[in-house]
Structure 1
Amino acid sequence: MLTITQELYDRIVEHSRADHPDEACGVVAGPAGTGRAERFIPMLNAARSPTFYEFDSTDLLKLYREMDDRDEEPVIIYHSHTATEAYPSRTDVSYANEPGAHYVLVSTADADDAGPFQFRSYRIVDGEITEEEVQVVEAHPPTA
């Protein structure tokens, strides 16, 4: 199950709507080993495409170095689908190389600024897609 704060949920949806009709993409990092999604990092879709997303390789390298320096890992890797449902495509599966991450997809296919959208989360390991429940909370409980 993915547990995400309302603030992060809203920011992912906002980014997805803002980049529409192109796909939006980004990462939510968290302290290594905790599974806690904490730091929202919107990325530029280098493909600038309504049907494909690609992280800029320089930005991605910088992000991974920054996460390493902060002892973080990618907890959520998200992107939007602008014309289809929020379900991983074959391309999405082929690029899913973080087995510990939650892959969040937001579909803006039927959305307008206030309209409906889909927000779904998956685990993708060795090409296997498993949808998981999304629990939205006001805030993460304090760490012990």
Structure 2
Amino acid sequence: MLTITRALHDALVAHARADHPDEACGVIAGPAGGGLPERHIPMLNAARSPTFYEFDSTDLLRLYRELDDRDEEPVVIYHSHTATEAYPSRTDISYANEPGAHYVLVSTADTDDAGPFQFRSFRILDGEVTEEPVEIVDSYI
């Protein structure tokens, strides 16, 4: 199960809506080994595409160095789908290389600034996709 604060949930949704009609992408980091998402790191979609996302390689290298320096790990890796449901595509599955991460998808396909959206979380391991429940909390304490 993914447990996430309302503030982080809302930040992901806001990022997805702001980048629409292009896909948004980013990471939520947390203390290494802790499993709790704490620090939102929106990333630039280097592909600038409504059907594909790609982390900029320079930004990604910088991110992983920063995570190492702060003794953090990517707890959530997220992106948006702008025309389809919030479910990993074959490409998403092939790029999933963090076995401990929650892969969150936000669909803005049927949304406007205040309209509905889908927010779903998955574990992706060795090409197998498993949806997991999401619990939104005010705080972890």
3-state SS of 1:88 partner: coil
Shift, 1:32, TM fit: 0.2
Cα distance between partner residues in 2 of 1:91 and 1:45: 15
Cα distance between partner residues in 2 of 1:32 and 1:117: 30
Partner of 2:114: 114
Partner of 1:37: 37
User: TM-score if structure 2 supplies the norm length?
Assistant: 1.00
Partner of 2:3: 3
Partner of 2:24: 24
Detail structure 1 runs of 4+ shifted over 4 Å in the superposition: none
1:45-87 alpha-carbon deviations (Å, 9 max, x no partner):
0000000000000000000000000000000000000000000
Alignment-mate amino acid for residue 69 of structure 1: D
Shift, 1:36, TM fit: 0.6
Structure 1 unaligned regions, length at least 5? none
Q: State the percentage of identical aligned residues.
A: 81
Cα distance between partner residues in 2 of 1:137 and 1:34: 17
Alignment-mate amino acid for residue 25 of structure 1: C
Partner of 2:84: 84
How many positions carry a matched residue from both structures?
141
Cα RMSD after superposing both structures: 0.2
User: TM-score if structure 1 supplies the norm length?
Assistant: 0.98
Write the mapping of 1:97-112 to structure 2, written as runs, cut at 5 A.
97-112=97-112
